Amino acid sequence: MKKVLALLFVIIAAVCVFIACSRGVTPGADTGSEETSGAGAETKPPVEESAEVKKYRERNASFKTEDFGTVGKYERNFTSKIGTPPVTPTAGEHPRVMFNSDDLAAIIANLETDANNSAYRTLVSFARKTIKSASKGGELDLVELGRVEAMAFYYALTGDALYAQKAIYAIKQTILDVDCEKDFDPYRGYGAVMYVAGCVYDWCYDQLTEADREQIVFGTLKNLASRMEVGCPPSKEGAISHHTVECQIQKSYLSFAIAVYDEYPNIYNYVAKRLISNIAPAQNYFIASGMHWEGTAYGPFRGCYLM
């Protein structure tokens, strides 16, 4: 378990370190290379796709949407009765989960600095292993799920379509395969896949077909969100303690909702309003004390999701 958490931390930390170290670089500054990168890059004339990219496009096209369910049963329940949130994602802008196009330019400019070089090499190595699914016999492999996230992030950095297509294939297959019901806290596994599904959707957006988008959204709501403790939509549990104020809403649901906002705004509107109108006021009331009210055990873990 320690090895799993350490490898996942490398991927998540890589994103955070790149952004943190990029503050001294003007977004969009000349990086000394004419190579473009990912969803936030300037469009170049199309080039002939490799046989490997075509193979993965065909594999992604072979999925049947009916295997992922239908969105209507779940999406129509995301009608917020408390109005539209005051802050919404910028329509049509991708990427926007964890970073945007301005951040991306600065991240790329800093990849080879002494502070980031080692993490970047680890990321590249991690992303290069081909996997079919992050779930084996229904059991979720968090290391392999980290590879899916790494593939999508590498596409955002480089614009290499092969990594996007591999990430799309792997996340769709994982959504179909995963079954965490035997786990002590099954919602954690479902939430982890939901978060990565949002990352793939957002970071690889310009590589997704309409069928890809539908399958990722339909499958995430049916196979992941509906099995979460907070429900689908996330209306269950309280706003002060318990698992509600961990990753389910503040990371898993929110990242996914931001990613799919253009096509499914109701999902974001519901999640954001739950956070802004319900969870945030309760949390802020207790935070004013200058300490976390759940002590040294749950406090640090749940406190990180308040950041």
CA distance 214 to 219: 8
Number of structural domains the chain divides into: 1
> Which amino acid type is present at position 110?
N
* Distance from the Cα of residue 138 to its chain's centroid: 21
Residue 296 lies in a domain: yes
Residue 66 lies in a domain: no
**What is the residue range of 243's domain?**
228-307
Residue 307 lies in a domain: yes
Query: What sign does the CA torsion over 184, 187, 193, 196 have?
Result: negative
Are 246 and 218 a contacting pair, CB within 8 Å? no
pLDDT value of position 20: 46
Residue 293 lies in a domain: yes
Residue 297 lies in a domain: yes
209, 148, 150, 199: which is closest to 174 by C-alpha? Answer: 148
pLDDT value of position 19: 47
Residue 185 lies in a domain: no
Per-residue tens of pLDDT for the chain, all 307 residues: 444 444 444 445 455 444 444 444 433 333 333 334 455 445 555 567 899 999 999 999 999 999 998 766 666 677 766 577 888 999 999 999 999 999 998 999 999 899 899 999 999 999 998 899 998 888 888 999 999 999 999 999 999 999 999 999 999 999 999 887 686 677 778 889 999 999 999 999 999 999 999 999 999 999 898 888 777 787 676 656 666 666 677 788 889 999 999 999 989 988 888 777 766 666 666 666 676 666 666 555 555 556 5
pLDDT value of position 58: 96
pLDDT value of position 174: 96
> Residue 135 — φ and ψ, nearest 5°?
-125, 130
Are 196 and 171 a contacting pair, CB within 8 Å? yes
